[in-house]
Amino acid sequence: MSSTKKTVKFVAPFALYKWAKNFKRVQDKFYANQYKLRRIQQVEDFIVLNNFQKVHHIEEVRIDLELPKTLFTSDINVADLVLVTHQGYSRYPCKGIVEQIQEWLADCPKLYLCLNRHYINIDNQTIDMELPDDFQTAITVWLQKSLPECTIIDLSRNYMDYGSHFTWSLPDRHYYIEKK
Amino acid sequence: MKKLIEHFSDYPMVQSDTHDYRRYRMGRLKHQLWLHNRKRDEIILDTHDKFILDNLQPGNTCVFGSAGYYLEEVIPKLTVIEQWPIVKKFYPKAQIIENRSEIAEINGRMFDNFIVVNNRGDIWCELSVVEKHIANYVKSMKPGCLFFYSFRDTQIVNWNRLKVNHKQYFHDFGLHIEKTCNLNLLWHDIKFAKKQKDGTGNYDIWENPDTTNGNIKFVFEYQTKTKIIND
């Protein structure tokens, strides 16, 4: 090591940036705020076109939905739709994601869930060789196998994500889930 | 109504130094350490930095794509190479390259240590592309050069996280590039999140054990296998 005149303090690796909540707004500035992420429009259209009236939104990154505030409720028990864009749940173990979905559905029968594909099976504890080889399809089939009591509709577009699809602004895999 | 966007390339991005700096910072986490340390008498480094510093051999060290200037005060004979021209504005000594093949073209085979820590420019691709990057790095290494390489599993593309054992997948990659790049794997540390419910019945929402440096860490020696890595 070089002989620096400064003292060096070694610490455990820590989060150097704390901008997660503003991540989308930072990416919006790449384009001078002129464009809207298609997936956000998809979420808004889903809510409006299906006439949901009380949406309980669980978010982390602020996605700035352009919908009336009166459409949202902080009480999941009075909601007619739970919307989850918080990608922290994608970092749950697979078993935990399934349990969490069941919990949400116990409080509200309809769920719009956004998952970040890159976090799925974060802990390397779920390996299922019977799933399709295509990872995107595999996520859908894994959810369907894990929640046979539910109807699960994959609302995602399939594409290879090379880090240029704003996935950390709004997760890429979108599912509508309701109890059968 | 605003036009809709799906991909970075759908519309042209803003062109300005501020924009370039913002994007550079988003992908170079350790730039924050440089910002913190340059005005202080006590500098902060993390334990992975210490691991690297403890194992460096004397000679020339290259840090590529990892905001390596934050190590300037602790590594002599340091060459910092980046792919973002904006770096020249605040660290004029940086070498700026466009393609990795330029590293050897400019420097020759001069490095005794080569460090890449969670370089966003290296990931967001398949492992086969990472291998091509590494093939360019070794062209600038002296025989016996130590190669410290780390990245995040979550930003490697085109593998099925539900069908592939993660640990095996990345360890196999290390063994594979031993053969294809004339490297010898001296040390590796491949860790994934361990999830257990807390007292309230919830899981934590954290990613992997080291999002800053990467949870997949390797140390190789180029051509020879003579060094012992201490951790």
pLDDT (mean) for B188-208: 91
Q: What are phi and psi of B127, to 5 degrees?
A: -60, -30
pLDDT for residue A17 is more than 70: no
- B127-156 pLDDT tens trace: 999 999 999 999 999 999 999 999 999 999
Position B92 scores a pLDDT of 98
* DSSP track, A19-88: -GGGHHHHHHGGGTT-EEEHHHHHHHHHHHHTT---EEEE-SS-----S-GGGB-S-GGG-SEEEE--GG
Position B1 scores a pLDDT of 81
CA distance B172 to chain A (A): 16
User: What is chain A's mean pLDDT, rounded?
Assistant: 95
Residues of A in contact with B121 (CB under 8 A): none
Query: How many Cβ contacts (< 8 angstroms) between chains A and B?
Result: 186
**What distance in Å separates the CA atoms of residue A24 and residue A33, rounded to the nearest whole number?**
10
Encode B11-36: b = buried (16+ Cβ within 10 Å), e = exposed: eeeeeeeebbbbbbbbbbbbbbbbee
The distance of Cα B134 from the centroid of its chain, to the nearest Å, equals 11
Position A16 scores a pLDDT of 66
Q: Which residue, B139, B147, B186, is CA-closest to B57?
A: B147
Residues of A in contact with B41 (CB under 8 A): 6-7
Q: Which chain B residue shows the shortest CA-CA distance from A13?
A: B46
pLDDT for residue A2 is more than 60: no
- B1-54 pLDDT tens trace: 899 999 999 999 999 999 999 999 988 889 999 999 998 999 999 999 999 999
- A115-166 pLDDT tens trace: 999 999 999 999 999 999 999 999 999 999 999 999 999 999 999 999 999 9
pTM: 0.95
| Residue in the structure block whose two tokens are 């998809």 | A42
B216 touches B159 (CB < 8 A): no
pLDDT (mean) for B84-96: 97
Q: What are phi and psi of B190, to 5 degrees?
A: -120, 110
A36 and B167 within 8 Å at the Cβ level: the answer is: no
Q: What is the DSSP letter of A90?
A: G
CA distance A23 to chain B (A): 10
pLDDT for residue B84 is more than 80: yes
Paired strand residues for A82: A56, A111
Angle in degrees, CA A175, B1, B3, rounded to 5: 70
Q: What ipTM describes this predicted complex?
A: 0.94
Q: Which chain A residue shows the shortest CA-CA distance from B121?
A: A163
**What distance in Å separates the CA atoms of residue B116 and residue B82, rounded to the nearest whole number?**
11
pLDDT for residue A20 is more than 90: no
Position A4 scores a pLDDT of 64
* DSSP track, chain B: -PEEE-SGGGSPPP-SHHHHHHHHHHH-TTHHHHHHHTT-SEEEEEHHHHHHHHHPPSS-EEEESS-GGGGTTT-SSEEEEES-TTHHHH-TT-EE-SSTHHHHHHH-S-EEEEEEES-TTT-SB-HHHHHHHHHHHHTTEEEEEEEEEEE-GGGB-S--TTTS-HHHHHHHHHHHHHHHHTEEEEEEEE--------TTS-------S-TTT-SEEEEEEES--------
